[in-house]
Amino acid sequence: MATTTATLTLSSADLTGDALALSTTATLTKAGTATGMEETTGVSRKSFATAQTAYNLIAAADFTTPIAAKVYVKNLSSTAAEYVNIEVGADNVVLGRLYAGDWAFFPWDGANDIDIDTSAVNMTVEYMVIYETV
């Protein structure tokens, strides 16, 4: 059985007027169990020569649903104004925007495609899905 943990640490000397230091850890488990997730797509990178609109980054059809999964997406650009929009579902509902160096880690049930828009040419996105087998 695989055991995968995710840790997020936030710190700032002046964000709230006082020092901020938060850290939390979660073990990534299958839906409704204490059993660790067993599968990953592996970390991949996709480079785009042109700006993209609604590019299908992760296809729901590649997974059996419903599943407990976690998705990691990172904008590898070093140009501050360049961004990637993360979109979910057939209506491309925007989940959020990642500027240069930003990343997201979020839960996903495998039911809807995850698409992206890129704001510029020659952008690269890094991504991975950690999921359970059903």
Taking 80 as the threshold, does the pLDDT of residue 1 lie above it?
no
User: Would you state the pLDDT for residue 67?
Assistant: 86
pTM: 0.93
Residue 114 pairs in a beta bridge with 58, 88
Cβ count near 45 (within 10 Å): 10
- Nearby residues of 47 by Cβ (< 8 Å), 6 or more positions away: 122, 123, 124
The more confident residue out of 133 and 101 is 101
Residue 82: CB atoms within 10 A of its CB come to 20
* pLDDT tens, position by position, 89-107: 999 999 999 999 999 999 9
Domain boundaries, the chain: 37-131
CATH of domain 37-131: 2.60.120.10
Taking only the tens place, the pLDDT of each residue in 17-66 is 888 999 999 999 999 999 999 899 999 999 999 999 999 999 999 998 77
Residue 134 predicted with pLDDT over 80: no
